[in-house]
Amino acid sequence: MTLSTTTAPARTTTPATAPSAGTLPRVRPLAITALGVVSPAGTGLDALADALCGATEPCSDPAELPLGPSEPDGLPDNIRVVPEFRLADHVGRKRTRHLDRTTGLGLAACALLRTAAGPPVGDLTDPAWNTTGVVLGSTSGSVRSSSEFARDTHVHDRPFLVDAAAFPNTVMNSCTGQIAIWNGLHGINATLSGGTTAALAAFRYARNALDRGHAERLLVGGVEELCPQTAWGWAASGALAQGFPVGEGCALFAVQDAEAARRDGAPVLAELLASETAFSPESVRPGVTSVLAACVTRALERAGVDPAEVGTVSLGATGLVGFEEAERRAVRRALGGRTVTELRVKEVTGEAYSADGAFQLAAVLARTAPGQLSLVTGIGQDGHVASLVVRTGEGA
């Protein structure tokens, strides 16, 4: 896992609950107070909820994704694409000319979150926005921007007449930085690269930053764009089950200490009770089931949750060859052999890579009742595993 980060000055905070003898230390719950979702199901959480229950179908029309002259092969047959996406509809036309699709998806999700949370950008009645930070899972940034910029250095006449305005889109933390710039957010700005567990790793990073007083509120999530480069890469890799689609989108969540959120009168859409990550080295990769089971167990213990209380799991390895059943076995083992309701959001969003974990969490908020306890789990092909323990709030 790689990390790009800028850290704000530290603040004081109340320490986590002291551990009992023989147990891991409990952690303070975090509250999700607002969210923004842009997915192949459409704009907003309600659109995702409708697709998850089968009321609507996710978009699979390749015509929704503009392609350039350097992409004559188009897209594979099995895709999931955000429908009718125009960044100007969310942030206006000004200053958007040189922004890529990855950044556009992130800015659109943030605009939806800001609309839900209030006040609007530029309104200083809530000074907490000034110190809010951004923690985003984005494994490679925009693969399309990087590929096209590299191609231009070979096909244009010397001295390599590339579009300098496109270069900022090629770095992995471009989207995270643009979200902060457009919204005047001066807190922590961090981008985590962790494949299919990148967004879950972002929540773990945010958990640590809030616990240690480096932030009071963070926007946390994941983003991934669909492009020919990644879509054909997945198709050639054999890593996805036959016919499983490749997708895109972004989900962002406003996260802060749960006690502070209630004190401030903020709506609590959900509580993040624990967030854990782990790694299964290549030499013991067949043991990834045991590593994930231990990760889930550790998260439940830190959350102070009995495994028997968990009613739902939002799965992250759906469609990944060799990992889907391993994830199920791990969850059953951690829950004492119990089988619980499964949410398979990737059947709607497709393999959205860095955005997977964010969509999984959004699915929990969309489809579970207030007070219900859920797990969000993930397995990466590189051996990373992660788990969240979530309690749906009254405001969901």
SS3 390: strand
- Are the CB atoms for 249 and 224 separated by under 8 Å? yes
Q: Strand 310-314 vs strand 249-257: parallel, antiparallel, or unpaired?
A: unpaired
Q: What residue has token string 């390895």?
A: 317
Domains in the chain, CATH or no CATH each: 30-64+76-264 (3.40.47.10), 273-392 (3.40.47.10)
Q: In Å, how far are 138, 153, 160, 222, 313 from 147, measured between CA atoms? A: 16, 10, 15, 21, 36
Torsion of CA 315, 318, 321, 324, to 10 degrees: 40
Half-sphere exposure of 36 toward its Cβ, with a 13 Å CA cutoff?
Answer: 23
Tens digits of pLDDT across the chain (396 residues): 555 554 444 443 444 443 334 578 899 999 999 999 999 999 999 999 999 999 999 999 999 988 866 665 788 889 999 999 999 999 998 988 889 999 999 999 999 999 998 776 666 567 778 889 999 999 887 878 777 777 777 777 776 677 777 777 778 899 999 999 999 999 999 999 999 999 999 999 999 999 999 999 999 999 999 999 899 999 999 999 999 999 999 999 999 999 999 999 999 999 999 999 999 886 555 689 999 999 999 999 999 999 999 999 999 999 999 899 999 999 999 999 999 999 999 999 999 999 999 999 999 999 999 999 999 999 998 899 999 999 999 866
Distance CA 146, CA 169 (A): 7
**What is the tally of helices (H) and strands (E) in the chain?**
13, 12
228: preceding bond cis by omega (within 30 degrees): no
* Element spanning 279, H or E: strand 270-279
